Amino acid sequence: MQETKAIEIRGLNFAYSEDGKIILNNLNLTAQNGEIISILGSSGCGKSTLLFCLNGIIPKLIKGVISGNIKIYGKNVNDFSVHELSSDIQIMFQNPESQFFTFNVRDEISFGLENKGFDETKIKQEIESVSKLLNIPHLLDRSAEELSSGEKQLVILASLIAMRPKILVLDEPTANLDPIRTKRLKEILKEINKKYQIAIIVVEHDLDFVDISQRILFMKDGRLKEYDGELNDNYSPGCKPKIIPEIILKIKNLYYKYDKKEILRGVDLELLKGEVLGIVGPNGSGKSTLAQNIMGLLKPNGGDIIFKGKSIVKLPVNLIAKSIGYMFQNPDYTLFENTVLNEVKFGAKNVGLKENETEKEARQMLKEFGLTPFKYTDPDNLSIGQKRRVNIVSLLLTQPEIIILDEPDTGLDRINSIKLMELLCLANKKGLTVVVISHNLNLIKNLCNRIVFIDKGEIVDANHYLEFLN
């Protein structure tokens, strides 16, 4: 008789150390074959830890104290290796870069299939099929380095779907996707669920996938329960920037190429002192590339960037960083210290601020963002959302004149998204100029006084964004 329970968990307990906090506490879960389940919960509540347990990454690769029983289609997870379970279950983690094994998109999608022993003809067929399904044929011959975070997420998803697992688990799958691709992802999940009877588990902070889910669960205190609450899109009253009619940053006819591909094509943009500017656009449109050109991390092939009347295109990054702060999409890029408290003070120390000037404010901001219990924790051991909060606190403590945030609410639950907006609004009132790059239209709408739309490396009339969405 065929096993109908895709996942069966009984009495699962887990802590990362003997004396550490209990992350999973007598957790139970049953998922049926072909079922779609949404799991919601606040940042750091243990959702990702649960996923690591499903295919044996915990405790086989990540050690800790674990008890209880997990079965995947009747197989006890403890009795099989991660590789042996991969035919049954595939997991897409929050950070797509952590799952890249090759340097080329086509090779990445074929990597898992080759390891499963598929022949060359079958591999070609699967690559063609899955790339059309996810609308990424144009990416197949691109280098992974060229891709935006959203495009990387789609490539990893393609590589997992191509292997036709019985269970597909997605951790924050829309974190880096624009609204159009988010909508398309939901359609794809419905399609593969119906066609292949794949059980799908989606872990999210918001209600993006509840309309396609048979069940909605909420994680709190290390346990799962049926979700009976409501989440809405009322973030905050929004900022009311006190804009000074003075151009603090001017971008003139900016061009940037990666190899022979033109990423930015004659970008012109003026930023007024005290503005809160939103930058929106589809995945791969050049938003992050523009930010990294401003910071000097990338050097333009043409045009100029002027800060307070002086060109900065030839300045080194460390000098630009004294006036302009930048937060990457990937929070791991800017984690350097071995405790959260030292980490948030790291940037301020490097731009020349004295420790006694930042210590009190650092502790206060850690409290504001719910990070005080982790102040002596290694940042590498935090969840994506917690790392993101550390990034934000660290950046604000450097006291820049302009701050550029690339997808700042990735991994943040609604409470911490609201706190982020409130802190940015407060800093803005004190004179900080803010640039927010985001796919979250609710955040952009509530936070920004002006919105620009980038498409194919060019700034387009913001009204065009409504046409893009339609």
For 377-423, what is each residue's pLDDT tens digit? 999 888 888 898 899 899 999 999 999 999 998 877 777 788 788 88
Whether residue 138 is found in the same domain as residue 53: yes
Total number of domains constituting the chain: 2
> Two tokens at 8?
């069966």
Which of these three, 226, 258, 273, is where a domain ends? 226
Asked if the structure places residue 237 within a domain, the reply is no
Query: Which domain, by its residues, includes 322?
Result: 244-469
Whether residue 183 is found in the same domain as residue 310: no
Asked if the structure places residue 437 within a domain, the reply is yes
Give me the tens of pLDDT residue by residue for the chain, a chain 470 residues long: 456 799 999 999 999 988 888 999 999 999 999 999 999 988 888 999 999 999 999 999 999 999 999 999 999 999 999 989 998 999 999 888 889 999 999 999 999 999 989 999 999 999 999 999 999 999 999 999 889 888 999 999 999 999 999 999 999 898 888 888 888 899 999 999 998 899 999 998 877 788 899 999 999 999 999 987 655 545 555 678 889 999 999 999 999 998 888 999 999 999 999 999 999 998 889 999 999 999 999 999 999 999 999 999 999 999 999 999 999 988 888 899 999 999 999 988 888 887 777 888 899 989 988 899 999 999 988 888 889 889 989 999 999 999 999 999 887 777 778 878 888 888 898 899 999 999 888 888 888 999 999 999 999 876 666 565 55
Q: Angle at CA 435, nearest 5°, toward 309 and 331? A: 120
Q: Name residue, tokens 């992050």.
A: 288
Asked if the structure places residue 232 within a domain, the reply is no
Strand partners, 344: none
- DSSP conformation letters of 29-69: EEEETT-EEEEEE-TTSSHHHHHHHHTTHHHHTS--EEEEE
Contacts (Cβ under 8 Å, ≥6 apart) of 163: 86, 87, 90, 112, 113, 116
Asked if the structure places residue 317 within a domain, the reply is yes
Cα separation, 410 vs 94, in Å, equals 9
Whether residue 221 is found in the same domain as residue 327: no
Asked if the structure places residue 302 within a domain, the reply is yes
- Paired sense of beta strands 89-92 and 65-72, if any: unpaired
Asked if the structure places residue 375 within a domain, the reply is yes
Asked if the structure places residue 343 within a domain, the reply is yes
Query: Is 345 in a helix, a strand, or coil?
Result: helix
3-state secondary structure 67-88: EEEEEECCEEHHHCCHHHHCCC
Whether residue 252 is found in the same domain as residue 119: no
> Two tokens at 15?
């802590």
pLDDT recorded at residue 260: 81
Find the helix or strand (DSSP H, E) in which 171 lies.
strand 167-171
- CATH at 392: 3.40.50.300
Which of these three, 198, 226, 254, is where a domain ends? 226
Sign of CA dihedral 359, 362, 367, 368: positive
* Phi, psi at 34, each rounded to 5°: 80, 5
Cα separation, 62 vs 302, in Å, equals 47
Rounded to two decimals, the pTM is 0.78
Peptide bond into 59 cis (omega under 30): yes
For the stretch 47-101, pLDDT in tens is 999 999 999 999 999 999 999 999 999 999 999 999 899 989 999 998 888 899 9
Whether residue 212 is found in the same domain as residue 127: yes
- Paired sense of beta strands 324-327 and 402-406, if any: parallel
